[in-house]
Amino acid sequence: MGRSQTRSDFISRIVIICLFIVLFVIIMIPFYAVALSSFKPGESLVRYGLNLSLDFEIMSFDNFIYLFTGQHDYFVWFWNSMILTIAQVVLTLFVSAFVAYGFAAYDFKGKNFLFICVLLIMMVPFEILLVPLYSLINDLGMVNSYSAIILPGIANAATIFFFRQYLRSIPKEIIQSGRVDGANEYAIYFRLIMPIMKPSFAAMAILNGMNSWNNLLWPFMVLGDQSKYTLPIGLKTLLTPYGNNYDLLIVGSFFSIIPIFILFIAFQKYFIDGMTAGAVKG
Amino acid sequence: MIKKFVYSQKVAPYVFVLPFILIFLIFWFFPLVNSFVMSFQDRMLGQDPKWIGEANYSKLLTDKVFLTAIKNSVVYMLGTLVLLIPLPMLFAVMINSKLMMGREFFKSSFFLPALTSVAVAGTIFRLTFGEMEGSLMNSFLGLFGIDPIKFLKDGNWSMAALLILACWRWTGVNMLYYLSGLKSIDNEYYEAASIDGASAWQKFRTITMPLLKPTTVYVTTISVYAGLAMFTESLMMFNGNNSPKNIGLTIVGYLYRQGIEQNKLGYAAAVGIVLLVIAMVINLTQLKFSGMFKKEED
């Protein structure tokens, strides 16, 4: 019995590991193909699409040289994305954590109702608000501004939810002791609570940063001015009905993933904490 | 005086949640109500609205393009449910088992596709599913002697391409959800089952699956939401909001076409309200049948 048990364990182990290696290869193929294609001339992409052929005769660093020295707006988009992402993350985190503390630390009239509103935002597809929201920012004269991208999301429901869950595990005695020491409610939050929230700030900074860096639809609608385009919008405009600038597109796509990859490798734990927040109750 | 008021323990909580109340009212509640009102109007940006009652809705009922969009979105949503719940659950159980090696490595590499923007991922898959003989997918199929397929010109194939893109991006994320669900299952259950001589499959069916139900409910809810609201994937895959015979048109794509491209705000708002109703009905039914409402008091 014992021996057949270990043998079947051994076979299961081989099967599982082989399966995961196959899945790993499938998942990596697109990355590999993009990395490979960024060394190939654009016309090869037009003719063959993405492929895995290692054709050293046509491969060169030309696309990379073009990316760094050519006449195009790529680094303007890159810079815009940086600025927008940083502004969005800082403001969203600051406001959402502030709000979450209100929900976690106090009992007040209307709290349940307001919290249901938080949950409602999480349940209604943002996309249905595209048209009225667009006409609203049009009326407010905010078209073409980064504030129109940032403002609607600064009290981000999912982020508030995460911070509130996190804050509920902080002992109420800290708040009490702050009051005994004569600190006012806001000083308690800013001096005592915010420092404790550091790990949750890291998790949410990374998740919000990733979403902001990758966001396409709403910024695409808001920004009409080319000089304000972000990276995803810029990459999208390289695909036109009249022809596609694959030379820049493919190497630009490849290059746009790299900052997030580096962040991910450095802060894996926070990515995963942020991602799985709220998935399981507790 | 004012300072004392704002600093009091009674008022402070409202100061804390005030930003949420403002944002909620301005950027969420007001547009939502406005959307509802607009759906009964004939309205264009910068012009006076005209009240037309339920005309937009009755027009939607007979709008063949809209029905195509609904069909596409619903098929896509069902496809993501069928593919992106059982498989990630199974993978999570496998990766969690003591037989697995290199757990952290696989966990993080499966997550990598989620880091790509839809602009990049859409471009990658557009080129992968190119109709040329040499493109990645066709050259793979060529190995089995299958003739090149024009993926993005045939409805079924383009839906398959969209679903493959969804699987590539989200399998790892859903697997993470299930892994964090598995962490909360007490090992004693498995030990007791082993003593009773339960097989691996029996353990999976009678212990793992039922205890993962909260995770499944969560993943289902977000999948219904994301599936019905899909738009940018199709926008990137078809290089714009127009696809041959609307094979890639989704509900949000239609909303975008009517509201933003053609400036028919009222009609687009009605599309949005229909989407809201569909999403709510499916999710509330799903939550009701899984008994989630009873467990909410904590």
Q: Name residue, tokens 């309205």.
A: B43
- Cβ contact, residue pair A27, B110, below 8 Å: yes
Q: Is residue B290 a contact partner of residue B82, using CB atoms and an 8 Å limit?
A: no
Instruction: Give residue A246's pLDDT.
Output: 82
Instruction: Give residue B293's pLDDT.
Output: 64
Q: How far apart are CA B75 and CA B228, in angstroms?
A: 9
Instruction: Give residue B16's pLDDT.
Output: 96
Answer whether residue B102 shows pLDDT above 50: yes
Percent of chain A with pLDDT over 70: 95
Tell me: the pLDDT tens digits for B165-190?
999 999 999 999 999 999 888 888 98
Answer whether residue A160 shows pLDDT above 70: yes
- Cβ contact, residue pair B128, A33, below 8 Å: yes
When scoring A128, A161, A217 by the number of chain B Cβ atoms within 10 A, the one with the most, hence best to mutate, is: A128
Query: A with B: how many residue pairs have Cβ under 8 Å apart?
Result: 293
Tell me: the pLDDT tens digits for B114-162?
999 999 999 889 888 888 777 888 888 888 988 888 988 888 999 999 9
Answer whether residue A281 shows pLDDT above 80: no
In this complex, which of A108, A275, A280 lies closest to B181 when CB atoms are compared?
A: A280
Q: How far apart are CA A105 and CA B16, in angstroms?
A: 10
**Residues of chain B contacting A53 with CB distance shorter than 8 Å:** 134
Q: How far apart are CA B139 and CA A58, in angstroms?
A: 19
| Cα end-to-end span (Å), chain B | 39
* Span of A6-10, A195-199, B208-212, B218-222 with lowest mean pLDDT: A6-10
**Residues of chain B contacting A25 with CB distance shorter than 8 Å:** none
- Contacts with B, A 222-261, CB within 8 Å: 231-233, 235-236, 239, 241, 244, 249-250, 253, 256-257, 260-261
CA-to-CA dists, residue B169 to A250, B175, B195, B258, angstroms: 19, 11, 40, 29
Tell me: the pLDDT tens digits for A31-79?
998 999 889 888 887 777 787 878 788 888 888 988 888 888 999 999 9
Q: How many CB atoms lie within 10 A of CB A74?
A: 20
Tell me: the pLDDT tens digits for B250-266?
999 999 999 999 999 99
Q: How far apart are CA B166 and CA B143, in angstroms?
A: 25
- Cβ contact, residue pair B184, A280, below 8 Å: yes
User: Amino acid identity, residue A47?
Assistant: R
Residue of chain B whose alpha carbon sits nearest to that of A128: B272
Average pLDDT, chain B: 90
Min distance B151 CA to chain A CA atoms (Å): 13
**Residues of chain A contacting B135 with CB distance shorter than 8 Å:** 48-51
Does an H or E element contain A243, and which? strand A243-244
* Span of A95-104, B45-54, B235-244 with lowest mean pLDDT: B45-54
Chain B contact for A275 (CB, 8 A cutoff): yes
Q: Name residue, tokens 């600093």.
A: B7
In this complex, which of B13, B127, B275 lies closest to A50 when CB atoms are compared?
A: B127
Instruction: Give residue B298's pLDDT.
Output: 41
Instruction: Give residue A4's pLDDT.
Output: 64
Instruction: Give residue B200's pLDDT.
Output: 84
Helix ranges restricted to H, B39-85:
55-61, 64-84
- What are the residues whose beta carbons fall under 8 Å from the beta carbon of B238, sequence distance 6 or more? B152, B158, B248
Q: How many CB atoms lie within 10 A of CB A51?
A: 25
Instruction: Give residue A1's pLDDT.
Output: 47
- Cβ contact, residue pair A29, B116, below 8 Å: no
- Cβ contact, residue pair B135, A253, below 8 Å: no
Q: What is the mean pLDDT of residues A79-90?
A: 96
When scoring B6, B11, B17 by the number of chain A Cβ atoms within 10 A, the one with the most, hence best to mutate, is: B17
B88 vs A259, more confident: B88
Q: How confident is the model at residue B297 (pLDDT cuts 50, 70, 90)?
A: very low
Answer whether residue A9 shows pLDDT above 80: yes
Instruction: Give residue A195's pLDDT.
Output: 94
